[in-house]
Amino acid sequence: MERAPEIPRTCPTVGRRAGRWRRDFVSKTLADVTEAMRDSVFAEEYARGSGFLQSLDPRVKVVTFLALLLAVAFARNPAALAALYLLTLALAAASRISIGFFVKRVWLFVPIFAGVVALPAIFDFVTPGKALISLPLGVAITDQGLHGAEIFVLRVATSVSVAVLLVLTTEWHRLLKAISSIGFPEIGVLVLGMTYRYIFLFLRAVESMFLARRSRTVGRTTMQEKHEWIGASIGALLGKSYHMSEEVHLAMVSRGWSARTPDRGEFSTSVADWAWAALVLAIVILSLTVMRT
């Protein structure tokens, strides 16, 4: 009796394990690109909201958030760093930002980078001190190592929270103008503005490339074919970005471009801005005195 032809594993009717769909790298990349675009839309919606931080003068916000980063850098007490982190959560709630969305944006980054750096510091061969937990091969976890790792992770988490909070509560063009108004070079502001805009353009290009690949894939592809296609796609994307940069530059020059950022209205400072600045100043003074011990 003749055997029925084998159904490819990429067919949507097969390929389940433990009730989950098996996705290849094309599907995963498409999902990641879609999620990045969705997060950017959410960020813009939060920036246009009517929360506390959204109502502040962007210039005051930039200066005070830099001061908060200074306070985090000088704080050496875990309780003080935890209090500063709780302050960022309170500010997020006052700015009508979803706490789950805010925490996810921060703690997806912190364990990957800060955790990897801080993990070796808890062992006695990196940070000698009082042994708390003895491990095989004569290795021990020290009290000093745990203390240092705790401070490092809290400091990174709080710093990232402050930066994310600033971006989520300020529209990008207003943030660029505020940075420019406090003395940041005009060419740097221009580069940041163009980079932000064209990131989304290239995300769309990547999404189109992978969607075209998926729509034309019928059977199962080998790993070598996947690697060859990825290499060709990276080369095509680099070529497209190079030609696009030339075309954009020529279009800007032909329209009388200058290196100055466009003026989008003046900022105004209110009583709430001065009250917020006074609160941040008090926090910085505490970080330079009490929080350092």
Per-residue pLDDT of the chain (293 residues; tens, 9 = 90+): 444 334 333 343 334 443 343 455 556 665 665 665 566 555 677 778 788 998 888 889 999 999 999 888 888 888 888 889 999 999 999 998 888 888 887 887 676 677 777 777 777 776 777 777 777 777 777 877 777 888 888 888 899 899 889 988 888 888 888 888 887 787 777 777 777 777 777 777 777 777 777 777 777 777 777 777 778 878 887 887 778 777 877 887 787 776 665 555 577 788 888 999 999 998 888 877 766 65
Give the tokens for residue 183.
């003395």
* pTM of structure: 0.69
**Which strand (E) or helix (H) includes residue 21?**
strand 20-21
Residue 150 lies in a domain: yes
Q: How big is the CA angle at 231 (ends 229 and 236), to the nearest 5 degrees? A: 90
Domain count, the chain: 1
Residue numbers of the domain that contains 36 = 23-184+269-288
**Model confidence over 124-178: pLDDT tens digits?**
776 777 777 777 777 777 877 777 888 888 888 899 899 889 988 888 888 888 8
Whole-angstrom distance, CA of residue 101 vs CA of residue 53:
17
Q: What's phi and psi for 128, nearest 5 deg?
A: -65, 150
Long-range contacts of 183-192 (CB under 8 A, 24+ apart): 186/259, 186/260, 186/261, 187/259, 189/261, 190/259, 190/261
Give the tokens for residue 133.
């937990």
Whole-angstrom distance, CA of residue 249 vs CA of residue 115:
42
Residue 209 lies in a domain: no
Half-sphere exposure of 88 (CA within 13 A, CB side): 29
Long-range contacts of 76-83 (CB under 8 A, 24+ apart): 76/151, 76/291, 76/292, 76/293, 77/291, 77/292, 77/293, 78/147, 78/150, 78/151, 78/154, 80/286, 80/287, 80/290, 80/291, 81/151, 81/154, 81/155, 81/158, 82/154
The SS3 assignment for 8 reads coil
Residue with tokens 């400091």: 155
Residue type at 177 in one-letter notation: K
Query: 55: which DSSP letter?
Result: G
Residue 225 lies in a domain: no
Whole-angstrom distance, CA of residue 149 vs CA of residue 188:
35
The SS3 assignment for 133 reads strand
Residue 90 lies in a domain: yes
Residue 79 lies in a domain: yes
Whole-angstrom distance, CA of residue 279 vs CA of residue 55:
16
**Model confidence over 49-66: pLDDT tens digits?**
788 998 888 889 999 999
Half-sphere exposure of 78 (CA within 13 A, CB side): 9
What pLDDT does residue 261 have?
57
Residue 251 lies in a domain: no
The beta strand positions in 98-171, using DSSP E, are: 131-134, 140-142
- Per the rule left: phi > 0, alpha: psi between -120 and 50, beta: everything else, 157 is alpha
Residue 169 lies in a domain: yes
Residue 174 lies in a domain: yes
